[in-house]
A and B are shown apart, each in its own frame.
Chain A
Amino acid sequence: MGGIDVFIDNINYIGAFILFVIGLYTVLTHSNLLKRIIGVNIMETSIFLFFVSIGYIKGAQAPIIDMALGDIVYVNPLPSAMILTGIVVAVSITAYALSLIIRIHEAYGSIDLNDILRPKEGESNE
């Protein structure tokens, strides 16, 4: 029984790591450039989940301090605030990568790495 409890209590962290690995696998194995960007986005999302989970306390209140309520437990707001910055960074990376893909498509006529690199086979490294 203990194993299941540990699993349920840490479901956020386990989920974050599964997402991280899925994202990494997508980035490394897919030859389609668009899918690689999706992979990077999945990885980033997994970290956001992980970071926010650190600040979460079960049964705690949202961190809006009301003196009348007295001493109650609040969720740590700092990770959520940092993740806002993280999301902005992720969006800018995605935007830049997508614009690069548009240029690559203009230049090579494809966004699949197998097609892009095929004509180069047989050439020497010069």
Chain B
Amino acid sequence: MNSTHFPVYILLILLITAIIIPLKKGRYDGLFRIEMSIALGLALLLSFILFMDVYRTQAFYYTFGSWDSTIGIQFLVDDFSALMTLVVLFVATLIIIYSLRDIEHEIQKEQLFSYYSLIFLLLFSMIGMIFTNDLFNMYVFMEILSLTSCGIISIKRKKENLLASFKYLMLGAIGSVSILMGIALLYMVTGHLNMLAVRETISSVWQLYPRNILISLGFILTGLGIKAAIFPLHIWLPDAHSNAPTPSSALLSGLVVKVYVFAMGKILFRVIGQDIVKAILVPDYLTYFAATSMIMGSVFAIGQKDIKRLLAYSSVAQIGYIFLGIGLATELGFSAGLFHVISHALMKSSLFLSAGAVIYQTGKRDIRNLDGIGYLMPVSMGVFSLAALGMIGVPGLNGFMSKWYLSLAVLDAGKPVFLLVILISSFLNSIYYLPIIISAFLRDSKERENVMVIDNLPKSMMIPMVILSIACLLTGLFPNIIMNIIEKAVPTFIL
């Protein structure tokens, strides 16, 4: 079967589902859930076939309406964007299955339809951003993404959520305005919006306008830095990710932030090009910010008492790892960054889902009250511990592999000082993750005896968590499955 049109089919399925959901005036019942699962399953199947086809044959360009690429919009479907789509849809499907029961606790019944509509729009814009090869198109998808991600936070009618999403919206608006300014400056120099055409023009004339490119990159990187929450620009993230309903937190922390990082990689290496970026010293500054992010995110996380807030700060630190990989501006570094994009998506969503399961069953958010909870909820805390150990970097889990690749890349680039930063950050990670695991499994509970029972959770919440942690294990034990794809895709970025 010819998979040329599959990227558009995936987008259309998600968009049409998003529009149909609020039109249905039915009840939130089994039928509604089945319809939603069919749409998601179909999108997942299409993305899997697309990925296999692209992996077996080669990357291709998709031009909309057969317009010339200088005027029309173009998609570039290569190995990594197909893999990323697959991961996004896979993790999102699991999160949505989990959310079917959990979300009833978090938001009002009449909001459920709008919630799922927003979720599908969110997925639509993420996948659009992954595939697009056009700068302005990327901006439009980015705006849809930032609006919908604010929407899935503010849908929970709590005071804090309103302020958190307002803060996110304002900073996100400043970020998108900066990105648009950067795109305008690039358009001014090159006269193109298509990434390939921009690159061709820039590589021939960049000596004439080095300052212009530097300013435009500054605007774009600041904007994407706000949206991807790198250290000094992260202030919106803890509020937004910790107050949101659990499925939203998992989506935002696991997937949405990664899409912005991927967009940054595209702009640095596919639009501007490795040589030019290195010549104007942008990646060096990126690594400095990444290093502070890795340390400071963990330091802030140590002080947190609320489990979801702790996970949110941990995201800031983990984003630093990805930025470090990108900032090295070598093939190894970029591959390590992309590997961490995927492994962090798996780990962080299983962490958020298991923390959400604890809140669902016991209502406890404070990490000091988690004594002996491992005996009450062995499955959830097992998933949590596995992912947390992965975050710390215990061998055999995917977090270790991404740190391994990153360390190799750092040594290869001749910057051993960052190896020290990686090590310190790992120690800091263990300072705040290990106490939770220890108190959950080794301390006596104050309320009940430590007798092992199975979690009192719906199956639709337990199965997605378990699948996610199996995926963490598999990518940790067989990292080559993903690394082969990334190594095939990275040379197309760094030409």
Residues of A within 8 A of B (CB): 20, 23-24, 27, 33, 36, 40, 43-44, 47, 50-51, 54, 78-79, 82, 85-86, 89, 92-93, 96-97, 100-101, 103-104, 107-108, 116, 125-126
Contacts and interface: CB of A to CB of B under 8 A. Distances in A.
Given A47-B184, A89-B176, A97-B166, 10 more contacts: A20-B177, A27-B174, A40-B177, A51-B184, A54-B184, A85-B136, A93-B173, A100-B169, A116-B163, A125-B305
A24 B173 CA distance: 11
Contact of A100 (B154, B159, B366): B154
Nearest to B142: A89
Contacts of B180: 47, 51, 86
A96 B151 contact: yes
A89 B143 contact: yes
B187 interface: yes
B150 interface: yes
A125 B303 CA distance: 9
Nearest to B173: A40
Contact of B177 (A36, A47, A104, A108): A47
B163 A47 contact: no
B160 to A, nearest CB: 9
A52 to B, nearest CB: 10
A78 B191 CA distance: 10
B140 A89 contact: yes
A30 to B, nearest CB: 11
Contact of B162 (A20, A23, A79, A103): A103
A65 B306 CA distance: 63
A38 B303 CA distance: 36
Contacts of A78: 71
Contacts of A89: 140, 143, 176
Interface of B: 71, 136, 140, 143, 147, 150-151, 154, 159, 162-163, 165-166, 169-170, 173-174, 176-177, 180-181, 184, 187-188, 303-306, 366
B305 A100 contact: no
A22 B305 CA distance: 39
Nearest to A40: B173
Q: 7 closest A-B pairs (Cβ-Cβ)?
A: A89-B143, A40-B173, A107-B159, A43-B177, A104-B162, A51-B184, A126-B305
24 contacts: A23-B177, A27-B170, A27-B174, A36-B170, A40-B173, A40-B174, A40-B177, A43-B173, A43-B174, A44-B177, A47-B177, A50-B181, A54-B184, A54-B187, A93-B169, A97-B170, A97-B173, A100-B162, A103-B154, A103-B162, A104-B163, A125-B303, A126-B306, A126-B366
A104 to B, nearest CB: 5
Given A27-B174, A93-B173, A104-B166, A82 B147 contact: no
Contacts of B173: 40, 43-44, 93, 97
A46 to B, nearest CB: 8
A26 to B, nearest CB: 11
B58 to A, nearest CB: 31
A81 B305 CA distance: 50
A125 B242 CA distance: 13
A96 B169 contact: yes
Contacts of A107: 159, 162
Contacts of A82: 136
Contacts of A116: 163
Contacts of A97: 166, 169-170, 173
A92 B147 contact: yes
A34 to B, nearest CB: 11
A81 to B, nearest CB: 10
Contacts of A85: 136, 140
Given A40-B177, A93-B143, A93-B147, A33 B166 contact: yes
Contacts of B174: 24, 27, 40, 43
Contacts of A92: 143, 147
